[in-house]
């Protein structure tokens, strides 16, 4: 490969892109004040930021912080248990993880919660006739998704927590754990059905160990079983040295990086009230467009940082234990192709969707109609797994349509041509807008759609120019990263 020199246009676009972001951030900082609705309900801020409250309206983020505060000690216990197991009884790792997981679930919750998780694992593991194995597994998958959605949508806070004798936060945790476990159970069972030569590590205790592996229990990522099974390789395939001191130092560095991003997130919530502002629909309908789109960008960036922390912690512990973990989420500030967003943000979910759904329904040589139906089935699964809510349906549907349009644009234009950027930006804009349904609600998403496409051609052209700079900045980043890989490859050859 040859090192490619970026065109001057890309550099100019990057400078304009950064300038647009800085100005839109400033407009959102102006909005983040005591005049906002529900401002008085915000949490008192850090003492170093005098007179600034902290935006605590992101329930997912707040819940995870509280979970770490209540149960963070189990991460430390997990490290001790895993290291002792690796040294003294490595052949029984799954049994140790099963026992540890059962004890942790019982201590964090109670016996009814433990019974639900065990019932989920037992229902997937048993009762799969050989003749209809795959169909049975998928039937159970959709049945469990239907059960979870039923309780999540129609029978959630008012009754279920009373039945299980747990409080609302614990009920949310149970919903998250069982949702992740649907993917894990499906992956385990389908891999087990595919395995013909060696059935090792496909026992019930292996499944339970996989489901209850503590660092990935609540916030994922939900890695496929073929990755988790590398835990049993005893570091033979691990790229990093296996000395305990080196692995502890590497774990500490990765956790410190996650802690840095967590602190950045918490500090940012003192100055940019992203989640509070999106609650005020009247404000969003009339606010300055710079502030509106800046708010949208910040929604995405805060969401990205949040999952860098969530997944970063799980990935750090997984790699310490010798699991072949995927990389952390890509920074969405440089993604200009939404197919890349699906591939490189939640890499584990993408791997599950691609391995068990898309490639099972079509191949590279399949016809266009079959590929369209396979991609539609993939996004249909995304919709029902996330929850059968209107905003999830709209988000999934727009993403599916935009990715199809993106592929059409890529097919008709050369990769490095200006035409791909000119046409692709029109597809990129609704792709981004769809995420505001997911980040906030259908009401917020509809406001963004309405203000983007009905407030005049001049407003749309302004957004288009900024988005074009965004698109070309993404191309610039790709060129820079490709050049670095080429240089690294040349150095290794020398």
Read off the pLDDT of residues 336-378 as tens digits, 9 standing for 90 and up: 888 889 999 999 999 999 999 999 999 888 888 999 999 999 9
With CA atoms as reference, report the closest residue to 379 among 362, 392, 366. Answer: 392
Q: In the numeric block, which tokens belong to residue 51?
A: 């007179």
Q: Does residue 334 lie within any of the structural domains? A: yes
* 183/224 Cα distance (integer angstroms): 8
Q: How confident is the model over 386-428, as pLDDT tens digits?
A: 988 999 999 999 999 999 999 999 988 887 788 999 999 999 9
Q: What domain count does the chain have?
A: 2
Average pLDDT, the chain: 90
**Same domain flag for 389 and 285:** yes
Q: What is the per-residue pLDDT for 161?
A: 80
Q: What is the per-residue pLDDT for 491?
A: 76
Q: What is the per-residue pLDDT for 87?
A: 84
**Same domain flag for 428 and 399:** yes
**Same domain flag for 237 and 297:** no
* 144/97 Cα distance (integer angstroms): 24
Based on C-alpha coordinates, what's the Rg of the chain? 24
Q: Does residue 53 lie within any of the structural domains? A: no
Q: Does residue 360 lie within any of the structural domains? A: yes
**Same domain flag for 29 and 143:** no
**Same domain flag for 259 and 237:** no
**Same domain flag for 22 and 120:** no
Where in the sequence is the domain holding 215, given as residue range(s)?
A: 59-245
With CA atoms as reference, report the closest residue to 116 among 72, 153, 165. Answer: 165
**Same domain flag for 348 and 320:** yes
* 282/469 Cα distance (integer angstroms): 30
Domain boundary pick from 245, 267, 295: 245
Q: Does residue 341 lie within any of the structural domains? A: yes
Crossing angle of helices 457-493/289-320, nearest 10°?
Answer: 30
**Same domain flag for 347 and 395:** yes
Q: What is the per-residue pLDDT for 241?
A: 53
**Same domain flag for 27 and 129:** no
**Same domain flag for 241 and 258:** no
The answer, yes or no, to whether residue 236 has pLDDT greater than 50, is: no
Q: Does residue 159 lie within any of the structural domains? A: yes
* 402/424 Cα distance (integer angstroms): 10
Of the chain, the percentage scoring pLDDT greater than 70 comes to 96
Q: How confident is the model over 49-69, as pLDDT tens digits?
A: 888 999 999 999 999 999 999
Helix (H, G, I), strand (E, B) or coil at 132: helix
Ranking 25-29, 118-122, 320-324, 412-416 by mean pLDDT, the lowest is 412-416
CA dihedral 417, 419, 421, 425 (to 10 degrees): -170
β partners of residue 54: 43
Q: Does residue 2 lie within any of the structural domains? A: no
**Same domain flag for 163 and 263:** no
Are 79 and 318 in contact by the 8 Å Cβ rule? The answer is: no
Q: Does residue 223 lie within any of the structural domains? A: yes
Helix (H, G, I), strand (E, B) or coil at 54: strand
What average pLDDT does the segment 94-111 reach?
95
**Same domain flag for 228 and 340:** no
Domain boundary pick from 216, 245, 274: 245
The model's pTM is 0.93
CA distances, 384 to each of 343, 387, 391, 437 (Å): 20, 5, 12, 16
Q: In the numeric block, which tokens belong to residue 181?
A: 């476990």
Q: Is the peptide bond before 221 cis (omega within 30 degrees of 0)?
A: yes
Domain boundary pick from 245, 273, 289: 245
Q: Does residue 152 lie within any of the structural domains? A: yes
């Amino acid at each position: 490969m040859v090192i490619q020199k970026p065109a001057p246009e890309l550099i100019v676009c990057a400078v304009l892109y950064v300038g647009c972001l800085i100005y839109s951030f400033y407009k959102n900082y102006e909005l983040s004040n005591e005049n906002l609705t529900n401002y008085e309900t915000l949490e008192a801020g850090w003492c170093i930021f005098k007179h600034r409250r902290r935006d605590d309206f992101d329930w997912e983020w707040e819940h995870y912080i509280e979970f770490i505060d209540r149960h963070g000690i189990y991460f430390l216990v997990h490290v001790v248990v895993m290291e002792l197991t690796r040294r003294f009884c490595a052949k029984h790792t799954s049994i140790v993880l099963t026992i540890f997981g059962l004890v942790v679930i019982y201590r964090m919750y109670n016996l009814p919660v433990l019974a639900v998780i065990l019932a989920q694992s037992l229902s997937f593991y048993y009762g799969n006739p050989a003749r209809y194995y795959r169909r049975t597994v998928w039937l159970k998958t959709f049945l469990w998704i239907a059960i979870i959605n039923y309780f999540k949508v129609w029978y959630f806070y008012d009754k279920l927590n009373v039945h299980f004798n747990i409080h609302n936060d614990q009920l949310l945790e149970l919903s998250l754990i069982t949702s992740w476990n649907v993917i894990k159970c499906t992956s385990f069972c389908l891999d087990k059905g595919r395995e013909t030569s060696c059935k090792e590590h496909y026992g019930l205790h292996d499944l339970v160990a996989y489901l209850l592996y503590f660092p990935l229990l609540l916030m994922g990522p939900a890695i496929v079983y073929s990755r988790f099974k590398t835990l049993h390789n005893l570091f033979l395939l691990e790229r990093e040295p296996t000395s305990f001191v080196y692995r502890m130092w590497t774990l500490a560095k990765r956790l410190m990086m996650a802690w840095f991003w967590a602190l950045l997130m918490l500090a940012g919530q003192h100055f940019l009230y992203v989640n509070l502002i999106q609650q005020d629909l009247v404000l969003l309908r009339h606010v300055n467009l710079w502030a509106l789109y800046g708010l949208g960008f910040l929604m995405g960036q805060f969401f990205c940082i949040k999952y860098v922390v969530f997944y970063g912690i799980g990935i750090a512990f997984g790699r310490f234990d010798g699991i072949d973990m995927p990389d952390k989420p890509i920074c969405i500030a440089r993604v200009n192709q939404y197919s890349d967003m699906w591939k490189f943000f939640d890499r584990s979910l993408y791997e599950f969707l691609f391995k068990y759904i898309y490639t099972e329904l079509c191949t590279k040589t399949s016809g266009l109609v079959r590929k369209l139906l396979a991609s539609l089935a993939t996004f249909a699964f995304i919709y029902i797994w996330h929850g059968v809510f209107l905003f999830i349906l709209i988000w999934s549907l727009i993403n599916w349509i935009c990715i199809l349009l993106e592929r059409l644009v890529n097919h008709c234009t050369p990769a490095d041509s200006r035409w791909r950027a000119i046409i692709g930006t029109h597809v990129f804009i609704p792709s981004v807008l769809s995420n505001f349904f997911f980040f906030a609600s259908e009401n917020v998403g509809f406001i963004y759609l309405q203000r983007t496409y009905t407030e005049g051609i001049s407003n749309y052209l302004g957004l288009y120019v900024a988005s074009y700079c965004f698109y070309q900045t993404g191309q610039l980043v790709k060129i820079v990263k490709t050049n670095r890989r080429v240089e690294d490859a040349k150095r290794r050859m020398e």
